Amino acid sequence: MRKPYIAANWKMNLDADAIDEFCAELSEFLLDFDAVRVGVFPPSLYLPQVVRALAGTGAVVGAQSCRPEASGAFTGEIAARMVADVGAKATLIGHSERRQIFGETDADVVARRDAALAEGLDVILCVGETLEEREAGRTNEVVIGQLEAALADLTPDVVRERVTLAYEPVWAIGTGKTATPDQAQEVHASIRARLAEGLGGEVASATIIQYGGSVKPDNVSELMACPDVDGALVGGASLQLESFVALLRGGQPGA
Ligand code: PGA
């Protein structure tokens, strides 16, 4: 059984006070809620604050991106080593905003992935097609291509123990347009089939595949009821505690 995993990707939002309040209330909520694994990915400036505030709750705290180099002349950037140094346990890699706004390529995804894993961080590897690619009938080709690149050279053990996948159709991110459960399930099933083919059935059935793109309290249950949708990576609806808690409740098995 895959334990559902719902992660908040705060992007470049919230501030120190709002984060303190959110984390205090989330810690309280998590005292008697264990049905879903929880992740929080704040702006990296606030990582130490969130690591401290959520210590002992079981929540995974991670960065939204990181540089692969351990140190050096990369003005404005944060190394995977630094993310681990402040006690965070994970990082997102290959989010479509990183790919589109910052020009990150599949090769950048692999370099960040390897640095993160070497530093002991778990990774959420993000893949997804643009609207243009979907309309051209290229969804599967694009998603599976990104997936193969992102997983290249990883052993089955590493994937099973350290890697979460996130399918995020670019046209659904921040647009209020969610993939239908059928659209999400179709892509998730093909990702899992590719995992089985490349890494074996055991890895395929153990790997969490999150869906991301306008997930909200009112659509999370139907999305996560799909057999191959195991969680959610949530931007906008993760910024308010009440809405995030509603997502966690709606994402628990049988909700
Ligand atoms: P959204 O963002 O929930 O605001 O659509 C999802 C994401 O980018 O991870």
pLDDT at 206 (0 to 100): 97
Q: Which atom of ligand 1 is nearest to the CA of 126?
A: 9
Q: Is 95 a catalytic residue?
A: yes
pLDDT at 153 (0 to 100): 97
Catalytic residue, from 69, 168, 202, 242: name it: 168
pLDDT at 98 (0 to 100): 97
CA of 100 to the centre of ligand 1 (A): 14
174 CB within 6 A, ligand 1: yes
168 CB within 6 A, ligand 1: yes
Taking only the tens of pLDDT, the chain with its 255 residues reads 799 999 999 999 999 999 999 999 999 999 999 999 999 999 999 999 999 999 999 999 999 999 999 999 999 999 999 999 999 999 999 999 999 999 999 999 999 999 999 999 999 999 999 999 999 999 999 999 999 999 999 999 999 999 999 999 999 998 888 899 999 999 999 999 999 999 999 999 999 999 999 999 999 999 999 999 999 999 999 999 999 999 999 999 988
Give the rounded distance of the alpha carbon of 172 from its chain centre: 15
79 CB within 6 A, ligand 1: no
208 CB within 6 A, ligand 1: no
Where along the chain do its domains lie?
A: 5-251
Q: Is 188 a catalytic residue?
A: no
pLDDT at 174 (0 to 100): 87
Cut 0.85: pTM above it? yes
CB 225 within 8 A of CB 181: yes
Name which of 208, 205, 206, 203 is nearest 156 in CA terms.
203
Fold classification of 5-251 is TIM Barrel (3.20.20)
- The CA distance from 90 to 166, in Å, is 14
pLDDT at 163 (0 to 100): 98
